Chains A and B, each alone.
Chain A
């Protein structure tokens, strides 16, 4: 499954329900894929620097999502344009999440709730939740194109047989 366009809530909801209802996997694994997809998709909606105007006057982030399945796992990948100056923070946050023990991440998440603006909890907590739900390291990179634009690519893997 793949999609390229604005990540409006109706599209996120339709795709996520499709994943939940049509994924051949245990209910728990399907739920993990569902939740990871929504968190990744809403990161694009909120933080992509490529914005699309909607009829109601709001602007929503544009990007790409791919769901890939192999024998062992599902992989959910999103790509969205970012402001160049955010690249280092995204890489730092993802790198830290991957090496932080899960209990410490839970504490970090709670601390972030305290400092987050009430209207915007920020991408950092979302990244922690993606890591927690997927139970696998985040794969991420910054892609610079020849026009000088930067894109954030992130992938979360959900194993079909859960980690012990």
Chain B
């Protein structure tokens, strides 16, 4: 299984940068997410994640999204559902969400994700 790195074009700011490392289990998604045809972007990410956890390896997901639209939220939540299921099956999962500390709207969204997926997300504010 290979690492997953998605950086479609730095100028297309509506695509986040994705870097999922198979060797270390450290996975990161950063930037903004409001592209068209959201499922086409997130499907390979979700597939990679499902294949990765099938190998029973530990995972650290670092989320550094500063904005995501409604369609993207659905897929971010899907990722959390998958990780919740893995946690319940004994998988070693840590999720960190880095957010700018003067952005209460993002904080609300993170808390909603936690509540909906019933999974712990460590919230890490930065200035």
Contact = CB atoms under 8 A, between A and B. Distances in A.
Interface string B31-57: 000111101000000000000000000
A133 B108 CA distance: 11
B67 A113 contact: no
B69 A39 contact: yes
B13 interface: yes
Contacts of B92: none
Interface residues of B, number: 25
A27 B102 contact: yes
A120 B70 CA distance: 10
Contacts of A13: 12-14, 34
5 contacts: A27-B102, A118-B74, A118-B75, A118-B78, A132-B108
Interface of A: 9, 12-13, 17, 27-28, 31-32, 34-35, 38-39, 42, 45, 58, 60, 106, 109-110, 113, 116, 118-121, 125-126, 129, 132-133
